[in-house]
Amino acid sequence: MSRSMPQPEYGIDPGELLAWFDTAERDLPWRRPEVTAWQILVSEFMLQQTPVNRVEPIWLDWIARWPTPSATAAASAADVLRAWGKLGYPRRAKRLHECAAVVAAEHGDVVPADVETLLGLPGVGTYTARAIACFAYRQRVPVVDTNVRRVVARVVHGVAETPARAGDLAEVAALLPEGLAAPRFSAALMELGAIVCTARNPRCGICPLSACRWKSAGYPPASTPARRVQRYAGTDRQVRGRLLDVLRAGTGPVTRAQLDVAWLTDTAQRDRALDSLLTDGLVEQTSTGLFALAGEGDDAGEGRAR
């Protein structure tokens, strides 16, 4: 195209990125070499929309208690929901429990390695399937999360952020180095987005990449007027959280009155939240009309005979 000047590459130099990662990589427990594919899967479920710092202690307890899919599947849903604690989005815990049952029963207690099969598992979507294929099985597949999307938007496209697009996977695939370096490259790209090329206050002064279109363009701010944020206080989500707090705190079924005190300001909202928890299968009603965490009355995982 342009013949006067050599066009700058503005890809992402694997050498620069990987050299930086060698020195800056965080020592996260699920990156240790002895960690199994299942345990990596557990970390990916927990990390969905949740910061690393909050996941770490819960993941450590979790894999010590339930190291395999079959061990997880043998636990009761109630025990799984209690172990999940206040990590948030408890439907993830239920999906993880369901995922464990599928892997144990249909895949010989071994996490599948191919993306297509992974995508069929409960709670495994576009990102998580490829993260497992890449980080657990060392495959050269594109792993696109919010960090990667942001880094590519800035370094390659010169804009502060871009919405998710259908072409994101192909674009990131084209950035991957050939051969065995791809998984580490993907981990490094995510790490760069997490600790240098961050959403709010990027630390461009310590960025290892010498070529960045966003830098060349003078760090233009986001053009789109910040999509409407999902609030939390006063929403059904908060009410659901309060109701689950009550059920997690106890050791068995509770009365409706015990649940009601969790949210007194809007009884219609409280009823709606409880309905949604029942619909999601996170809460169950006993034959005597009490409420309990799903599987609370079952003896699965309790080591008792029927």
Where does this chain bind DNA (CB under 7 A)? 28, 30-31, 43-44, 47-54, 86-91, 95, 122-129, 131, 145-147, 150, 187, 190-191, 193-194, 198-201, 226, 229-232, 235-238, 240-242, 244-245, 276
Catalytic residue among 16, 44, 178, 296: 44
Helix (H) or strand (E) run with residue 100 in it:
helix 91-106
44 in active site: yes
Q: In whole angstroms, how close is the CB of 229 to DNA at the nearest point?
A: 4
CA distance 109 to 129: 17
Q: In whole angstroms, how close is the CB of 24 to DNA at the nearest point?
A: 12
Q: In whole angstroms, how close is the CB of 161 to DNA at the nearest point?
A: 8
| Complex with DNA: residue 9 or 34, whichever CB lies closer | 34
| Complex with DNA: residue 216 or 235, whichever CB lies closer | 235
Distances in Å between the alpha carbon of 265 and those of 146, 179, 256? 36, 59, 16
Tokens 């180095």 -> residue: 177
For the record, the structure tokens of 57 come out as 């202690």
| Complex with DNA: residue 12 or 239, whichever CB lies closer | 239
| Complex with DNA: residue 180 or 233, whichever CB lies closer | 233
CA distance 267 to 72: 36
Which of 36, 160, 14, 13 has the alpha carbon at shortest distance from 103? 36
CA distance 116 to 128: 12
Residues 6+ apart with CB under 8 A from 152: 12, 162, 168, 171, 172, 175
Q: In whole angstroms, how close is the CB of 7 to DNA at the nearest point?
A: 30
Q: In whole angstroms, how close is the CB of 227 to DNA at the nearest point?
A: 8
Helix (H, G, I), strand (E, B) or coil at 132: helix
Strand partners, 292: 284
Q: In whole angstroms, how close is the CB of 306 to DNA at the nearest point?
A: 30
Torsion of Cα atoms, 169 then 173 then 176 then 180, to 10°: 110
| Complex with DNA: residue 114 or 302, whichever CB lies closer | 114
Considering all CA atoms of the chain, what is the largest pairwise distance in Å, rounded to the nearest integer?
Answer: 82
CA distance 40 to 55: 12
Helix (H) or strand (E) run with residue 276 in it:
helix 267-279
Burial of 211 (0-12, 13-18, 19+ CB in 10 A): middle
| Complex with DNA: residue 23 or 230, whichever CB lies closer | 230
Active-site amino acid positions: 44
